[in-house]
């Protein structure tokens, strides 16, 4: 049997199945209970398969593609990275009443000093055509009785390879907020017993939200670098919703003057 013949038979069969269930739905209010019970069982089994198909199709057909690491990289970039949370679907996609030092995935952790946590974190699927990141992160803050709130992103070991004071480390992000607030980004680099810190305020009023950390002005001990992370510090977060549609990092040697 040729491919065309099989396709015609499949279409014929699908139309017959659709007519059967359409008629069964019309007869449901008057069908006897034994028949109704059998059809309900069959319908639930069918719905499970249809829901699975729809879920997989939505994930594959929606933009952007899951796993994408595509984003703008400045000229001279020798390392670039989008954290896993913004690339791949996480096994646990949401948390409520998030406690300090809890987070989503292995790279993103929330820190705060609230006595009662009214904070939630949720991974979102980005579906807008302009979004390059497959996923985003939503932070909901209700009543806030603490003095600080920060989101920590651990940088991978590749970011530290041959890192020295001649480098610029860059962070790009897309931020949505219910109401204005200040967000600061702090680069932390642990070298031996010390930790070098560089703080920049995110220019949330600009279309492209980007900050750069120039290591030339740091007291970094290049031979003892152990780990690095970024703190996103939220000032006055109470009764607000913040969505980080994308977060990416890159580094490049600074131009010599």
Q: Where residue 165 sits, what CATH number does that domain have?
A: 2.60.120.260
* Domain shared by 150 and 247, yes or no: yes
Residue 1 pLDDT level (bands cut at 50, 70, 90): low
Residue 71 lies in a domain: no
Residue 63 pLDDT level (bands cut at 50, 70, 90): low
**CA 87 to centroid of chain Cα atoms:** 6
**Domain span at 10:** 3-61
Q: Does the structure show a pLDDT above 60 at 257?
A: no
* Domain shared by 153 and 28, yes or no: no
* Domain shared by 47 and 173, yes or no: no
Residue 193 lies in a domain: yes
Q: Which pLDDT score is estimated for 189?
A: 97
* Domain shared by 10 and 129, yes or no: no
* Domain shared by 167 and 41, yes or no: no
Question: Could you tell me the pTM of the whole model?
Answer: 0.74
Residue 5 pLDDT level (bands cut at 50, 70, 90): low
CA dihedral over 93, 110, 139, 120, signed as positive or negative: positive
* Domain shared by 184 and 246, yes or no: yes
Cβ-based neighbours of 243, under 8 Å, separated by 6 or more: 124, 136, 137, 138, 139, 175, 176, 177
Last residue of a domain, one of 61, 93, 110: 61
* Domain shared by 43 and 93, yes or no: no
Residue pLDDT, tens place only, 192-237: 999 999 999 999 998 789 999 999 989 999 999 999 999 999 999 9
Residue pLDDT, tens place only, 19-46: 888 888 888 888 888 888 998 988 898 8
List 128's β-bridge partners, or say none: none
Residue 117 pLDDT level (bands cut at 50, 70, 90): very high
* Domain shared by 146 and 179, yes or no: yes
Residue 176 pLDDT level (bands cut at 50, 70, 90): very high
Total of domains in the chain: 2
Residue 151 lies in a domain: yes
* Domain shared by 26 and 137, yes or no: no
Render 141-197 in DSSP notation, one character per residue: E-S--SS-EEEEEEPPGGGGTT--TTEEEEEEEEEEESS--EEEEEEEEEETTEEEE
* Domain shared by 93 and 36, yes or no: no
- Rounded CA separation 246/209 (Å): 10
* Domain shared by 161 and 230, yes or no: yes
Q: Does the structure show a pLDDT above 70 at 52?
A: yes
Q: Does the structure show a pLDDT above 70 at 2?
A: no
Residue 62 pLDDT level (bands cut at 50, 70, 90): low
Quick one: what percent of the chain has pLDDT higher than 70?
A: 95
Residue 218 lies in a domain: yes
Residue 73 lies in a domain: no
Residue 213 lies in a domain: yes
Residue 72 lies in a domain: no
CA-based R_g, the chain, Å: 25
| 198/66: higher pLDDT | 198
* Domain shared by 49 and 144, yes or no: no
Residue 156 lies in a domain: yes
Residue 249 pLDDT level (bands cut at 50, 70, 90): very high
Tokens 């992370």 — which residue?
Answer: 229
What DSSP element (H or E) covers 226? strand 225-235
């Amino acid at each position: 049997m040729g491919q065309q013949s099989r396709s015609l038979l499949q279409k014929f069969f699908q139309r017959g199945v659709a007519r059967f269930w359409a008629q069964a739905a019309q007869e449901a209010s008057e069908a006897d209970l034994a028949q109704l019970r059998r059809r309900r069982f069959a319908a639930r089994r069918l719905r499970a398969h249809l829901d699975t198909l729809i879920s997989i199709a939505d994930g594959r057909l929606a933009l952007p593609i899951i796993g994408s690491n595509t984003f703008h990289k400045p000229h001279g970039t020798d390392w670039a990275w989008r954290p896993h949370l913004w690339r791949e679907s996480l096994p646990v996609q949401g948390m409520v009443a998030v406690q300090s030092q809890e987070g989503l995935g292995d790279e993103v952790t929330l820190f705060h000093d609230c006595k009662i946590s009214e904070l939630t974190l949720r991974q979102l699927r980005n579906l807008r055509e302009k979004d390059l990141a497959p996923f985003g992160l939503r932070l909901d803050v209700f009543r806030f009785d603490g003095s600080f709130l920060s989101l920590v992103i651990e940088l991978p070991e590749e970011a530290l390879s041959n890192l020295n004071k001649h480098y610029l480390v860059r962070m790009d992000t897309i931020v949505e907020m219910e109401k204005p607030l200040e967000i600061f980004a702090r680069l932390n680099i642990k070298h031996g017993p010390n930790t070098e810190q560089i703080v920049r305020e995110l220019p949330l009023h600009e279309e492209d939200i980007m900050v750069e950390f120039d290591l030339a002005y740091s007291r970094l001990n290049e031979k003892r670098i152990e780990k690095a992370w970024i703190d996103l510090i939220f000032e006055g977060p109470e009764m607000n919703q913040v969505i980080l549609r994308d977060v990416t990092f890159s580094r490049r040697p600074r131009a010599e003057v």
